[in-house]
Amino acid sequence: MSSNGSTAETTLVTLRDPGSPAAEAYRTLRTNILFSSLDRPLRTLLVTSTAPNEGKSTTLANLAVTMAQAEQRVLVVDCDLRRPSLHTLFGLPNEQGLTSAILAQNDDLPPAQATVVPGLKVLTSGPLPPRPADLLGSRRMAAMIERMSANADIVLFDTPPVVAVTDAAALAPRVDGVLLVLHAGHTRRDRAREARQLLEKVKANIVGVVLNGAKQERGYTY
């Protein structure tokens, strides 16, 4: 077993315990997203939150796994150029990634890395830039999104919390949909309201909200 396989399988519940209620909830989320986009197919989806530690990166990673398990070609892109974590979740090196591909200024596809899940690739953040929002809002990033979406069934973008910095708002208008992750008992109502307003202000297409940590019947924890 490769190192990235062992890391992903121990940190992601959809691989570690695919029969669990949490894994089933991620599959339900996948189905809901697909049904929400029947009239307007989602090829690019941004995942953000209102504040740190609300589970957005873990949510994105598990959602990506379930989509790949449904035989879709999935590309995950770490656009959190302040606190990237997808390389850690999947056990991948991060010397090269999104930032190095943008700065290369050529038309080559970004250096995405294969994972233990068939059909799922990850483009890590790469070296952290001094002004992430400028990079994500650049014309080169827009062109890269087009190239990536042409070579995958769906591309998932992980971004910093939308209330904290402008990175997510800069990228949101350039993708087909936005998924907002909240955490029960942690996310403040005013922050959630502010996040929605910020996304609507840039005319983002909010496809739904994920509530992490919500206690449900039958032992559901997700």
Whole-model pTM: value is: 0.91
Whether the pLDDT of residue 216 is over 80: the answer is no
Distances (CA, A) of 169 to 94, 116, 173, 188: 25, 32, 7, 19
- Go through 136-165 and write b for each residue having 16 or more CB atoms within 10 A of its CB, e for each that does not: bbeeebeebbeebbeebbbbbbbbbbbbbb
C-alpha closest to that of 7 among 75, 113, 64, 86: 86
At residue 159, φ and ψ (nearest 5 deg) are -125, 165
pLDDT band at residue 73 using 50, 70 and 90 as cut-offs: very high
Q: How far apart are CA 44 and CA 174, in angstroms?
A: 9
pLDDT band at residue 24 using 50, 70 and 90 as cut-offs: very high
Q: What is the mean pLDDT of the chain?
A: 90
Superfamily of domain 3-219: P-loop containing nucleotide triphosphate hydrolases (3.40.50.300)
Query: Residue 65 carries which DSSP code?
Result: H
Percent over 90 (pLDDT), the chain: 77
Q: How far apart are CA 84 and CA 96, in angstroms?
A: 13
